[in-house]
Amino acid sequence: MNKKILKNEIIGLAPNSHKVKEYKNSLIELTKNQKEAAIGLLLGDVSLQSQNEGKTYRFKFEWGDRNKAYAMHVFQLFDEWILSQPHKKSRISPNGNIVINWGFQTISHKAFNYLADLFLKQKHKGIVENLILDHLTPRSLAYWFMDDGGKLDYNKNSKNYSVVLNTQSFTNLEVELMSEQLSSKFNLLCEVRSNKNKKIIVIKNSSYQAFYNLIDPYLVNEMRYKLPYDYNIRTE
């Protein structure tokens, strides 16, 4: 019986080495938690890429320094699929500030192909018709919010607990569909609004506690700053 190759045995080896190929072949599919998180991440800013005309795909991740803890959490979540450490990228913004981002990517693997079927249309980001109804779970919703959601009203004294899902990378029709399906599946009061000529989803104040209860078990503590109000501030 062949001994299973461990990830730490192949770090630093050439991508086309026999041992690396053997390790990749030992990986079969994403775990349930990885699949659910991936749906939310892809509804956010994470991208899918192929280097071989769609035979296999990989994830590419990148977040700003403020969300470094979240980046490290996602890195750990997909650990067996990532062969290099997160890398720090620095640049100077137009106003002269140093901007730091953290990025990493998975290996290319056929395990990601089913996600490409859900999220790519003619090589561009899009969604299948019943993505929310058929694939979005509370865990997925939490990662969607952490990745590309936030408060509607940033006034510190505001009692408006509406939250926003930034869906500007999708078509108007796709956003309308996602909003309707979110409302239907999770009994949330949602509406579509315009933001700089693009459409976003607003989960209204009256549905905030229901939304919070759905995502709370899956939130990374360092991302709770995005919540308009935290009913259960965790200190662990």
pLDDT in tens, 156-199: 778 889 999 999 999 999 999 999 999 999 999 999 999 888 99
pLDDT in tens, 122-137: 778 889 999 999 999 9
Query: Which band of pLDDT confidence, cut at 50, 70 and 90, is reported for residue 233?
Result: low
pLDDT of 230 over the 90 cut: no
Q: What residue ranges define each of the domains in the chain, with the CATH number in brackets? A: 1-125 (3.10.28.10), 127-235 (3.10.28.10)
CA-to-CA distance for 84 and 47, rounded, in angstroms?
18
pLDDT in tens, 8-30: 888 888 888 889 999 999 999 99
Taking the CA atoms of residue 164, residue 166, residue 168 and residue 172 in that order, the dihedral angle to the nearest 10 degrees is: -50
CA-to-CA distance for 136 and 144, rounded, in angstroms?
10
- Which position has the token pair 């004294």? 157
CA-to-CA distance for 10 and 6, rounded, in angstroms?
7
What is the H or E stretch that residue 139 is in?
helix 138-148
Give the global pTM.
0.92
CA-to-CA distance for 115 and 127, rounded, in angstroms?
10
DSSP 9-77: GTTTS-TTSHHHHHHHHH-----HHHHHHHHHHHHTT-EEE-SSTTSSBEEEEEEEGGGHHHHHHHHHH
Check residue 2 and give its pLDDT: 61
pLDDT in tens, 63-89: 999 999 999 999 999 999 999 999 999
Amino acid at 125: K
Helix (H, G, I), strand (E, B) or coil at 134: helix
